[in-house]
A and B are shown apart, each in its own frame.
Chain A
Amino acid sequence: MVQSLVEPTTSGDISVPQELYVKAYRIMLLARVLDDKFASLYRAGKIHGGVFLSRGQEALSVAIGVALREGDVFAPLIRDLAGRLAFNEPILDGVRNYFGSTLGPMRGRDGNVHRGRPREGQLAMISHLGAMISVVNGTLFARRMKNIAGTVGVATCGDGATSTGSFHEALNQAAVERLPLVLVVADNQYAYSTPTSRQFACRSLVDRAVGYGISGCEVDGTDLAECLRVVGDAVVRARAGAGPQLVVAHLLRLCGHGEHDDASYIDPQQKSSPLGGDCLKLAEEFLRQQCWAGADTLAQWRNEALHKVEDAVATVQREPTPDPFTEVWSALATAHLGEGNA
């Protein structure tokens, strides 16, 4: 019989090793600094299209990236900058994608958060919510068919995406096939402007795990130590063959849906509640409390992150953008089957 493991969250867990915590914090910091840079470039009119930030979700996302190994599969979504960086996405990939550089993975054909290197396990999200989960299933299914054992796939999604048919089909499929899938749901209280009360009627999204016959657990998404522990354990369980794992994190989106959105609809009470805590600030406090980093070290780390970001942006701003005249206007890998522009 399969049971749902609904674990209550206990904050302030200090069983997480210092080295891991510091590594994760520094990636979160880099993600935040990079996000802030994207936001200012957006305001300066330097970005084509929208900008979508991860603010408030770095702890959860980074916990995924650091739990994965080379050879694993990760399908990040809109608010996973920290997880991407932790799973070895070069900082240049994100910057290049926002500028549409031809040297980036999508070469100006797709932009912003829609990027990846599928052959390296970094899947490139399509916009349609819920659609990436079954693709992760497919990669895991293929590995089983090829007798490759011990790899894990993580897909993420928001509270809103849990209402899609794709979400249901894919989670049920993973359960039927007992795939090593970890599905991390960031319940950040809103899907664009829609509050969760208009999105689902169950007590917590984790209750759905029971219905699928898979393990489920919850975590305080503002607490880095907790995220590292809970997400890390879920990845370990999936890797060990325990089947799909649903992780539901509770947190608040600390930004607009995109930078075009002032998020004035967010309930001020939520902002001042524990849910509205900023995971990056809380992690900083924790580092100080543990004496793992003082003010000087924190400032130095921030400086290093700023430099990395400034360097990346300066590099990419000098790079070529796509040329419509040399662009290959064909969507097929089999060139001779293309229709040209007939």
Chain B
Amino acid sequence: MSITYLEAIRSAQARALAEDPRVFIYGQDVGAFGGAFKATKGLAKEFPGRVLDAPISEDAMAGLAIGAAIEGLRPIIEMQFADFSTVAFNQIVNQAATLFWRTGVPCPITVRLPCGATSGSGPFHSQTMEAIYAHYPGLVVLTPATVEDAYSMLLEAVAIDDPVIFCEHKLLYYHLKAAALPTEALPVGKARIAREGRDLTVVAYSAMVHEALAAAEVLQGDGWEIEVVDLRSVKPLDTDTVMGSVARTGRLLCVGEAWPWGGVTAEVIARVTCEGYDLLDAPPQRLNAKDTPVPYHPDLWAAHRPTARSIVESARKVLQH
């Protein structure tokens, strides 16, 4: 028996629906059809009236979820692709994210964003949106990299009293497998040491954790011991765990699939340089996607995003400094 990242997301939603009558799911094609990626397969039948198709109106989907949250419900909305959440951007960052601060009424909504680049998907079905949402106060932004985290963090997202942007990576949906669903988990807000090492800290999140782990494997062949930190949540950002790791290794490389201007990798490096300058034995480096829309052709796509190979190259530069 094994369970995929996608099945973990489906199972977490089934459990949330079963355990909490306040939960419902709303999104395009999520009902009888089970969602574009089948993340809600069978749920409409199992939970009648609680898994509902929405019109192609991302703004109104988010608005409806916010209204329902004001009434004490815990909606999960599925954006068909993270890219389309730009249409709901106003409701998310101006309405959901400000509600508690302005009125004292919490806004416990979960916005599921199938994100990240897959080969052949092109500019509008490939984006990663974590940096732009993390920029806004009032949002929690999660980026699970493992089957276990996809499950436990989605359950936690639903339980959190604030709007949670749940960035699930499409590339991990089918191929990433675990033996079973977890029975315990790190809480949201804690990063995880995905691999221990003493020569270099590679900070990554979401699908890039797996590229970083593959790079560490390659570098081990050369005798380097790479520590990989999986952020798990980009907001809040577990600066302590990152700093602890850099204190051990003295070197830092930050990898993100998002575009290079600003964003999570820049934030991590800013924090480490400001607060832990003396820990560093070499200038920290960052590796991001190229500063263009995500390309369609597999050859362009593979060169656009960071991969194990480009991580190895960047890591060598930091190691040899």
Q: Which residues from chain A sit less than 8 Å from chain B, CB to CB?
A: 105-106, 109-110, 114, 116-119, 123-124, 126-128, 131-143, 145-146, 165-166, 169-170, 172-173, 176, 330-334, 336-339, 342
Contact = CB atoms under 8 A, between A and B. Distances in A.
Contacts of A105: 103
Contact of A145 (B69, B73, B90, B162): B73
B68 A172 contact: no
A286 B65 CA distance: 44
B7 to A, nearest CB: 27
A173 B55 contact: yes
8 contacts: A109-B102, A124-B99, A128-B94, A134-B60, A134-B61, A142-B73, A166-B91, A331-B97
B42 interface: no
B68 A145 contact: yes
A118 B66 CA distance: 11
Contact of A138 (B55, B70, B98): B70
A141 B64 contact: yes
Interface in B214-244: 235-237, 239
A134 B67 contact: yes
A253 B100 CA distance: 33
B279 interface: no
Given A137-B60, A173-B55, A173-B57, A119 B70 contact: yes
Contact of B102 (A106, A141, A342): A106
A117 B59 contact: no
Interface residues of B, number: 52
Interface string B177-189: 0000000000011
Contact of B70 (A118, A127, A166): A118
A175 to B, nearest CB: 9
A115 to B, nearest CB: 9
B226 to A, nearest CB: 26
B64 A138 contact: yes
A126 B94 contact: yes
Given A110-B102, A118-B105, A131-B90, A165 B71 contact: no
A332 B140 contact: yes
Contacts of A109: 101-102
Nearest to B63: A134
Contacts of A124: 99, 102-103
A334 B189 CA distance: 11
B176 interface: no
B59 A165 contact: yes
B63 to A, nearest CB: 3
B283 interface: no
A109 B50 CA distance: 35
B60 A331 contact: no
B68 A331 contact: no
A118 B68 contact: no
Contact of A139 (B60, B62, B71): B71
Given A126-B95, A139-B70, A173-B55, 10 more contacts: A118-B70, A124-B102, A134-B61, A134-B66, A137-B63, A138-B63, A138-B65, A169-B59, A331-B101, A337-B162
A141 B108 CA distance: 16
Contacts of A176: 55
Contacts of A139: 67-68, 70-71
B316 interface: no
A173 B98 CA distance: 23
Nearest to A175: B55
A326 B106 CA distance: 21
B262 interface: no
Nearest to A124: B103
B237 A118 contact: no
Nearest to B140: A337
A328 to B, nearest CB: 9
Name which of B90, B103, B105, B162 has the most chain A CB atoms within 10 A of its CB: B103
